[in-house]
Structure 1
């Protein structure tokens, strides 16, 4: 059947493929194409940035007179690479009727992906099956069969799938009704040859003239441009492109300078080489320094999220930046620093995430994403690596530290992007950033002293916000107390509830919600590993959040987490049950290293979670296997894979095993708080973070983000006085009060602001000896 336009539009609902990737890859060169592999076929391919996928997948049907088979569904294949540091996947599909060998690279010189294929099997033909999702969306695509190959376009972006030997015939149709797979399913052979389809969710298929050869998938802003790129890449030759691809990767690998890499056990040295190559693969080309979190969409085969994880999170980027620093990748860390400087918002914060060009996607505010870039800049300064960026880094740090000072210590979102409040992770990096930025000379003198005073105050008050004692959990385990995951209120964590965002807004008491955020207190040098509060919380974490699998210990983010598959294995759909996170084995391993304990169990756990190609997942399945859903105990679930944060955590754990000091730790921070922390000079009172009482050993600073007049008295409004605020530093205004001789009194006060009058509320603070 050869007719012009395919029937059945617009096709079924467009989704992505599974996020469980076997491998990812890209060339190091001017070509701007990134590929992913899953279930033995090509999955999402990204162009011209690693933020934008343009296909769902490119698989193969193999057919003869009495037989047809889709290799993805057979799912019997082997994947190998030439070495742990060279992302060239060779995939061999096995079947009693055939053997299909594929090798995938991208052209270092062109926006083209190349597949070398070879099919063995008597009387069989090979049919590539391509699902375009132009511009990161499966809807409203247009496709056609041209003399050059199979083409698709949408909104000025074009792709073509061309074959070295050409197609014997081809067809384009709507997914679920007139696509090539439906043709084989209904007719047992290729009977349709539709020449055009669209707009809609499309799939294109062609019958190759030869069973050995090269396919070229090319991208351009014009149909002619895509055709020219594909033809020129084929003409230049696959072997030449492969040689250049391998040569450029080998040259880049020479820049990796991880301490004692060649002396590590082979499984660890291979893991470092694979992980750093995965991280490099996630870096943008047009926008150097942009690092997307994952070339995948979690549970992508169930929905059509336009962002997925192929976005830049400042937090993930800095976590990865420290791993690159551990590997001696100076050019990359400097590029990341420049990129972070460029995408900072005018008021000092960073967006929750963005596409590689800086365009925001989700627009929440997470205070750790403001603090971590400052910490990173201070680390580069400590190592003398800022160079000509010094001035820009200083300007960046000043804006970021002012934002932290004005809006901290509570954050609108925590690092898991779910809850507002104070949490130990965000508080740790905020305190460390204030100290590190001040000590690095990023701040002018007045701001510097204020930053140190504020950091000391927050550090001293930290336990009053996020530590509880004598709870039911503590009594059951026989410990004194523990750090909570998060406190949504300004008062003691002993009271109140936390809403569980992915559990249909159920709640849990703040004191009963346990997480691993507190471990960064040790990692950054704010608390000693031997601090009994840290030790006790770790006992609780190991009891409630740890699952021992044959490969080693794994951890949940927190009790009652809802970000994961449902109990029956159905994909996460806004609610579910949180699964085990390999990167948290890394965080627990860091604490083991701080205690001078063996980190091997934690390393083994992370390594065992990897895919065939060495990709580390966000989560692994923690229950009995459900093979029909692809869920095997201890193996990757349907969440993101690879997650470059997990790869970074593995590198950093091996680094701390070698050096004894976490790569994130700065001498300025650990030196201030590691031995004998200084007593805070003042209590910083804000209406967002009031303090019920203050000791006479401190000053009391009443603060706000704008000038005001403080109207105050003692006890029942005796000895009333007024005092105008003064600039304190980092954009804060305040009235410092000496309360050293006022023990037993109660300070009562209210404020009058310029331009808006009295605030309409009275406050009080008890003064204690």
Structure 2
């Protein structure tokens, strides 16, 4: 190994903010995602297939760089990524190129906004080493101790820093000291939590750490959906002027992540999440925005009633019945009652349709019952909330279960109805590049299981059981489930990325969602099939990539170019593991189940 004097190469590439739209993010199937536990290090890294992909700074809604990668004789290698430490977000990449190989380990400096990489290179011939760095916007600084002359073997570091002198300070401190402190932070975090018996230890610990890492450090409680920009959200500036919606906060995703973290023992995460939701209630009515940046700025503004119900459910899980909390929750509960034609929703949980959705209605009914329970603890009258919940619970089948559909002569739940008349052949445009309108009676969706998981309907209800059979016949493939009939949110048949603004109409195909396996497992526990639920946990685990990141969608057993890691998928893995240990879904609010299932 060649001994190194400190040879510093300084690369500063400044891109004016106006150029941000011209820089296209790398593919969304990230192989790793990391940050320090310390708030003093407001920087997050992702790893792609050739090195560092987007680095986020100063918050999780802001990708500051596109990529930073080692070049050998001016060319990158192909990387295989793995955890370097099963109990911290420390990752190692093994790169190979023409006659050379390299090993790079990545952490962030817990004391400053810098990503550090420890590099070892071995080559069959003398090679030149360099670091290519592409900023997304603003300025970032790269410094390296790698040799500039041709070498066969070398060991050194490079750092990407934000702020004057930050990269050099990280190098001066050294990789060993930073990596040790970085790992200790995650070890301490995990040591304070518990672990379920049912889960794979490595994937479980990784899932909890990924969920913790999705919380912004400047804006507590703001947890993004994914540190990635899939498909057209990365390259179509008409569709996504600011690089798309995944690096945003969605109340729905935040609720799922928070209930997983409660199960894992990180109650503080959920408390901060609820506080964030309540801070982001919209004036003057109290509904929650469709999504926001981590600083709370709304981005998309469609109304989704299940997201407005989310803080009502989360507050119940946390037992938050203090006056300040219930006063804020009351605004959301009253909004659910006053919304035009409620529980009709402008959008259901898959974002692109309005109507009467069994999943949305389940969330709204459960949310109102949970809120009523909280205020009754304070001696307040909650009759109007319970009356509405009871009425909608009785009517959900009449609004959303068809007796005249093509898949069964017996009633089954639809994805949604446009008009609350499920026996009518009302047609609508599914969107996402579907070529023709479709009869609402022909579109089914596993999301109806929200009715059971949230306690609104019994697992042995005959319409529930019949819909399970229909959904399996129509949507189950390769052991997983599609979101709904003819879902178009995915790639083309030949693997090209999803988009909306195609020059010519192009059919795209939504693939299979591992998180739906988790939801099925929670239902199976309620149906008395623990073995089936345990199988679902293993099926989710089988979709992890080599860095143990869980994807949004899979095909042929592998993650697609969809968002990876998806926080919701990791949350579903964590929550199902704890549900298996408990013998029941840990998310299911007992107050709802007791009201409608006793």
Query: TM over 0.5, yes or no?
Result: yes
Q: Which of 540, 552, 569 lines up with 1:646 in the alignment? A: 569
- What is the Cα deviation at residue 595 of structure 1? 1.2
Q: Distance in 2 between the 1:233 and 1:492 partners?
A: 62
Is residue 249 from structure 1 mapped to residue 186 from structure 2 by the alignment?
yes
- What is the Cα deviation at residue 443 of structure 1? 9.2
Alignment of 1:28-427 (within 5 A): 28-29=37-38, 30-63=40-73, 69-71=75-77, 75=78, 77-95=79-97, 97-121=99-123, 122-134=125-137, 154=138, 158-164=139-145, 211-220=154-163, 225=164, 228-258=165-195, 261=196, 263-264=197-198, 268-299=200-231, 302-303=235-236, 305=240, 306-308=242-244, 309-346=246-283, 347-381=285-319, 386=320, 390-407=322-339, 408-427=342-361
Q: Which of 566, 569, 584 lines up with 1:661 in the alignment? A: 584
- What is the Cα deviation at residue 342 of structure 1? 1.3
Is residue 612 from structure 1 mapped to residue 546 from structure 2 by the alignment?
yes
Q: Do the aligned partners of residues 409 and 246 (structure 1) sit closer, same or farther apart at CA in structure 2, a change above 3 Å counting?
A: same
Q: Do the aligned partners of residues 568 and 415 (structure 1) sit closer, same or farther apart at CA in structure 2, a change above 3 Å counting?
A: same
What SS does structure 2 have at the residue aligned with 1:92?
A: strand
Is residue 449 from structure 1 mapped to residue 383 from structure 2 by the alignment?
yes
- What is the Cα deviation at residue 604 of structure 1? 2.1
- What is the Cα deviation at residue 462 of structure 1? 0.9
Q: Distance in 2 between the 1:390 and 1:117 partners?
A: 53
Q: Distance in 1 between the 2:301 and 2:589 partners?
A: 30
- What is the Cα deviation at residue 211 of structure 1? 3.7
Q: Distance in 2 between the 1:576 and 1:566 partners?
A: 4
Give the length in aligned residue pairs: 565
Q: Do the aligned partners of residues 208 and 366 (structure 1) sit closer, same or farther apart at CA in structure 2, a change above 3 Å counting?
A: farther
Q: Which of 567, 573, 582 lines up with 2:493 in the alignment? A: 567
Q: Do the aligned partners of residues 563 and 653 (structure 1) sit closer, same or farther apart at CA in structure 2, a change above 3 Å counting?
A: same
Bigger shift: residues 279-288 or 93-102: 93-102
Q: String of CA shifts for 1:321-345, please: whole Å, max 9, x gaps.
A: 0000110102211111111121111
Q: Is the 8 A contact 1:35 1:42 kept in 2?
A: yes
What SS does structure 1 have at the residue aligned with 2:407?
A: helix
- What is the Cα deviation at residue 498 of structure 1? 2.8
- What is the Cα deviation at residue 490 of structure 1? 3.6
Q: Distance in 1 between the 2:50 and 2:98 partners?
A: 17
What SS does structure 2 have at the residue aligned with 1:86?
A: coil
- What is the Cα deviation at residue 442 of structure 1? 6.6
- What is the Cα deviation at residue 307 of structure 1? 3.8
Q: Which of 9, 17, 24 lines up with 1:15 in the alignment? A: 24
Q: Is the 8 A contact 2:87 2:183 kept in 1?
A: no
What SS does structure 1 have at the residue aligned with 2:588?
A: coil
Q: Which of 544, 548, 556 lines up with 2:474 in the alignment? A: 544
Q: Distance in 2 between the 1:519 and 1:579 partners?
A: 20
Q: Do the aligned partners of residues 468 and 40 (structure 1) sit closer, same or farther apart at CA in structure 2, a change above 3 Å counting?
A: same
Q: Do the aligned partners of residues 128 and 544 (structure 1) sit closer, same or farther apart at CA in structure 2, a change above 3 Å counting?
A: same
Q: Is the 8 A contact 1:165 1:210 kept in 2?
A: no
Tell which structure's C-alpha radius of gyration is larger: 1
Q: Is the 8 A contact 1:485 1:517 kept in 2?
A: yes
What SS does structure 2 have at the residue aligned with 1:474?
A: coil
More strand by share: 1
Q: Do the aligned partners of residues 62 and 655 (structure 1) sit closer, same or farther apart at CA in structure 2, a change above 3 Å counting?
A: same
- What is the Cα deviation at residue 492 of structure 1? 4.0
More helix by share: 2
Q: Do the aligned partners of residues 558 and 492 (structure 1) sit closer, same or farther apart at CA in structure 2, a change above 3 Å counting?
A: closer
- What is the Cα deviation at residue 485 of structure 1? 0.5
Q: Distance in 1 between the 2:64 and 2:439 partners?
A: 45
Q: Is the 8 A contact 1:17 1:43 kept in 2?
A: yes
Q: Distance in 2 between the 1:118 and 1:537 partners?
A: 56
Is residue 494 from structure 1 mapped to residue 424 from structure 2 by the alignment?
yes
Q: Is the 8 A contact 2:87 2:190 kept in 1?
A: yes
Q: Is the 8 A contact 2:303 2:347 kept in 1?
A: yes
Task: Provide the alpha-carbon RMSD of the alignment.
Answer: 2.4
Q: Which of 500, 515, 520 lines up with 2:450 in the alignment? A: 520
Q: Do the aligned partners of residues 471 and 298 (structure 1) sit closer, same or farther apart at CA in structure 2, a change above 3 Å counting?
A: same
Q: Do the aligned partners of residues 331 and 166 (structure 1) sit closer, same or farther apart at CA in structure 2, a change above 3 Å counting?
A: farther
Q: Which of 468, 484, 505 lines up with 1:558 in the alignment? A: 484
Q: String of CA shifts for 1:161-210, please: whole Å, max 9, x gaps.
A: 11236867xxxxxxxxxxxxxxxxxxxxxxxxxxxxxxxxxxxxxx9999
Q: Is the 8 A contact 1:564 1:576 kept in 2?
A: yes
What SS does structure 2 have at the residue aligned with 1:127?
A: strand
- What is the Cα deviation at residue 69 of structure 1? 3.3
What SS does structure 2 have at the residue aligned with 1:99?
A: strand
Q: String of CA shifts for 1:207-256, please: whole Å, max 9, x gaps.
A: 99994211111113xxxx2xx21222211221111111011111111122
TM-score (normalised: structure 2): 0.90
Bigger shift: residues 269-278 or 313-322: 269-278
Q: Distance in 2 between the 1:36 and 1:662 partners?
A: 32
What SS does structure 2 have at the residue aligned with 1:517?
A: helix
Q: Do the aligned partners of residues 493 and 429 (structure 1) sit closer, same or farther apart at CA in structure 2, a change above 3 Å counting?
A: farther
Q: Which of 370, 373, 376 lines up with 1:439 in the alignment? A: 373
Q: Is the 8 A contact 2:57 2:63 kept in 1?
A: yes
Q: 5+ unaligned residues in a row in structure 1: which ranges?
A: 135-153, 169-206, 622-632, 676-769
What SS does structure 1 have at the residue aligned with 2:88?
A: coil
Q: Which of 504, 510, 527 lines up with 1:595 in the alignment? A: 527
Q: Distance in 1 between the 2:116 and 2:553 partners?
A: 31
Q: Distance in 2 between the 1:211 and 1:248 partners?
A: 30
Q: String of CA shifts for 1:357-413, please: whole Å, max 9, x gaps.
A: 0011111111010001110001111xxxx4xx8333212210000010111201100
Q: Distance in 1 between the 2:191 and 2:324 partners?
A: 30
Q: Do the aligned partners of residues 391 and 659 (structure 1) sit closer, same or farther apart at CA in structure 2, a change above 3 Å counting?
A: same
Greater RCO (CA < 8 Å, at least 6 residues apart): 2
What SS does structure 1 have at the residue aligned with 2:75?
A: strand
Q: Is the 8 A contact 2:84 2:105 kept in 1?
A: no
TM-score (normalised: structure 1): 0.70
In the alignment, what sits opposite 1:678?
A: none
- What is the Cα deviation at residue 352 of structure 1? 0.7
Q: Do the aligned partners of residues 110 and 161 (structure 1) sit closer, same or farther apart at CA in structure 2, a change above 3 Å counting?
A: same
